[in-house]
């Protein structure tokens, strides 16, 4: 069975693009075939590329004006192209403002049934993450050594966040730095009997971090508010006994309804 993947991309460009922008964009696009190289071999890995303007008279192009058909040896090569290849990623960043709409499908010749390819997961690495509240008034950085979410299912988190659980990491207070905005503070008495201070954006109310006095110099940062927080895996959960009954079944529940 062939492993070859055909990556089919259709673009509809913004009407405002100048000829110069078009020329530059196509020049860089066509050069990807030779400039995209594997990091180990330094050799090009795109098997073939076809590119051209739509010339169909059938009028079924749904506004798409150009087509690109790229072939890759296998899914791993395509995944590298889409998620890691610095040459392609730079091209994508520059192309984004030019493209009004696109259609992308990947096929494996002859395979007419079966599941989609798995989206590659890029595990975030330890480091300094920037965070921002919903309105952007408050921004901060947090040094995270375990970039994953510890879910808290306690009732307080549900009340304060209005969600099924909160997502957190505990870090030293020196590892958190507020760069803009002045968070407001709400204090309540925790289950330990000690005060817990919640710091949140005074404008949009996004919760930035909590400080339980019982934890000394440690603070609890909300990991989902950090840049790339959506890509962090789950690292664990606390107060699981308070978990809403449908949380574990969420995926099946939703899949059953579509
Ligand atoms: Zn805000
Ligand atoms: Zn909680």
Here the CATH number for the domain that contains residue 56 is 3.30.70.100
Distance 136 CA to ligand 1 centre (A): 5
Q: Is position 114 within any domain?
A: no
Q: Is position 253 within any domain?
A: no
Q: Is position 65 within any domain?
A: yes
Distance 217 CA to ligand 1 centre (A): 25
Q: Is position 122 within any domain?
A: no
Q: How many CB atoms neighbour CB 97 within 10 A?
A: 11
Residue 247 is predicted with a pLDDT of: 86
Residue 257 is predicted with a pLDDT of: 54
Distance CA 156, CA 231 (A): 25
Q: Are residues 217 and 145 in the same domain?
A: yes
Distance 93 CA to ligand 2 centre (A): 38
Chunked into runs of 10 residues, the chain (258 residues) has average pLDDT values of 91 95 95 95 96 97 96 96 95 94 96 92 86 96 95 94 95 97 96 94 96 96 93 90 84 61
Q: Is position 116 within any domain?
A: no
Q: Are residues 71 and 138 in the same domain?
A: no
Check residue 239 and report its DSSP letter: S
Cα(first)–Cα(last) distance of the chain, in Å? Answer: 32
Residue 219 is predicted with a pLDDT of: 98
Residue 258 is predicted with a pLDDT of: 45
Residue 256 is predicted with a pLDDT of: 59
Distance 61 CA to ligand 1 centre (A): 42
With beta carbons less than 8 A apart as the criterion, state whether 138 and 132 touch: yes
Residue 78 is predicted with a pLDDT of: 97
Q: Is position 140 within any domain?
A: yes
Phi, psi of 150 (to 5 degrees): -95, 115
Ligand nearest to the CA of 131: 1
Residue 43 is predicted with a pLDDT of: 96
Whether the predicted model's global pTM rises above the 0.95 cut = no
Distance CA 109, CA 19 (A): 36
Residue 1 is predicted with a pLDDT of: 61
- The boundaries of the domain holding residue 229 are 127-245
Distance CA 69, CA 7 (A): 6
Q: Are residues 89 and 60 in the same domain?
A: yes
Q: How many CB atoms neighbour CB 47 within 10 A?
A: 15
């Amino acid at each position: 069975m062939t492993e070859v993947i055909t990556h089919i991309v259709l673009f509809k460009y913004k009407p405002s693009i100048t000829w110069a922008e078009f020329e530059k964009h196509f020049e860089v696009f066509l050069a990807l075939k030779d400039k995209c190289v594997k990091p180990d071999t330094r050799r090009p890995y795109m098997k073939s590329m076809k590119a051209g303007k739509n010339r169909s008279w059938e009028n079924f192009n749904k506004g798409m004006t150009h087509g690109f058909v790229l072939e890759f040896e296998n899914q791993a090569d395509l995944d590298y192209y889409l998620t890691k290849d610095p040459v392609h990623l730079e091209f994508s960043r520059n192309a984004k403002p030019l493209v009004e709409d696109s259609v992308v499908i990947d096929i494996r010749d002859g395979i007419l049934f079966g599941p989609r390819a798995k989206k590659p997961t890029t595990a975030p690495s330890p480091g300094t993450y920037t965070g921002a509240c919903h309105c952007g008034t408050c921004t901060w950085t947090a040094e995270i050594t375990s970039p994953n979410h510890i879910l808290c299912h306690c009732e307080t988190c549900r009340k304060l966040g209005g969600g099924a659980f909160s997502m957190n990491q505990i870090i030293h207070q020196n590892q958190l730095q507020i760069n803009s905005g002045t968070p407001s503070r709400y204090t309540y008495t925790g289950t330990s009997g000690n005060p817990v201070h919640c710091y949140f954006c005074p404008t949009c109310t996004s919760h930035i971090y909590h400080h339980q006095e019982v934890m000394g110099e440690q603070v609890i940062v909300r990991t989902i508010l950090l840049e790339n927080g959506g890509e962090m895996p789950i690292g664990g959960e606390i107060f699981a006994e308070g978990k809403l009954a449908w949380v574990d079944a969420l995926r099946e529940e939703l899949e059953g309804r579509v």
